[in-house]
């Protein structure tokens, strides 16, 4: 995402054409972030639009020494987390997925890596329970540590670690099922 200083100046002046141009420039990379946290495209686009609104309204706080893409991505992630917290409060289901017991399985990831593509992995991540999915994405993909995740999601570090462990085990189990199907096809 390459954003010129001139485009940002025009956006700060509330020029709608400039804002739409910025939206088009940002869409791909920010939509990729939103897709990692939502099961369907419509919900991901809703998050993106909300995040982009925040980006536009906070442009006066942007500091040019920080890469714009990193700044916009941070606002997008914070928007996703804020919406997650809001939904959790509204539904009172924040800890509903804590009762899941996933059996431990082993799997050779190098072998599995040869059999599926990134889209299939993304679909597996979307099948995780909501909190485990968010912890997995924040830790593995976004690079947050457990302390930061705990603060962002309002959970303890131990709960964050548990969700990451659960997510890994669940994905391993899904990979094992895929490998079993592949093995059956090869027989």
Q: What is the DSSP string of the chain?
A: ----HHHHHHHHTT-HHHHHHHHHHHHHHHHHHHHTT-SSHHHHHHHHHHHHHHHHHTGGG--TTS-HHHHHHHHHHHHHHHHHHHHHHHHT-TTGGGG--PPP----HHHHHTT--HHHHHHHHHTS-HHHHHHHIIIIIS---HHHHHHHHT--HHHHHHHHHHHHHHHHHHHHHHHHHHHHHH-
pLDDT of 6 > 70? The answer is yes
Residues of the chain with CATH 1.10.10.10: 96-186
- Per-residue pLDDT tens for 86-137? 776 655 443 344 333 333 333 444 444 444 556 777 888 889 998 999 999 8
Q: What is the mean pLDDT of the chain?
A: 81
Residues of the chain with CATH 1.10.1740.10: 5-91
**Averaged pLDDT, 142-148:** 89
Q: What is the pLDDT of residue 109?
A: 44
Q: What is the pLDDT of residue 122?
A: 80
- Per-residue pLDDT tens for 30-58? 999 998 888 788 889 999 999 999 999 99
Q: Which fold has domain 96-186?
A: Arc Repressor Mutant, subunit A (1.10.10)
Q: What is the pLDDT of residue 29?
A: 92
Query: Between residues 171 and 116, which one has the greater pLDDT?
Result: 171
pLDDT of 2 > 90? The answer is no
Q: What is the pLDDT of residue 113?
A: 47
Domain 5-91 has CATH 3.90.180.10: no
């Amino acid at each position: 995402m390459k954003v010129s200083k001139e485009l940002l100046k025009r956006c700060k002046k509330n020029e709608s054409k400039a804002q739409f141009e910025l939206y088009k420039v940002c869409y791909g990379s920010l939509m990729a972030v939103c897709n990692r946290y939502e099961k369907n495209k419509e919900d991901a686009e809703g998050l993106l639009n909300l995040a982009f609104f925040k980006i536009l309204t906070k442009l006066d706080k942007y500091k040019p020494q920080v890469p714009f893409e990193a700044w916009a991505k941070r606002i997008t992630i914070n928007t996703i987390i804020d919406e997650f917290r809001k939904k959790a409060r509204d539904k009172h289901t924040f800890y509903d997925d804590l009762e899941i017991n996933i059996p431990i399985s082993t799997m050779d990831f190098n072998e599995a890596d040869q059999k599926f593509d990134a889209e299939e992995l993304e679909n597996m991540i979307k099948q995780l329970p909501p909190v485990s999915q968010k912890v997995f994405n924040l830790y593995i993909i976004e690079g947050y540590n457990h302390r930061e995740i705990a603060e962002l999601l309002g959970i303890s570090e131990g709960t964050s670690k548990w969700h990451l462990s659960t997510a890994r085990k669940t994905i391993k189990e899904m990979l094992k099922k895929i490998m079993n199907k592949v093995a059956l096809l090869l027989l």
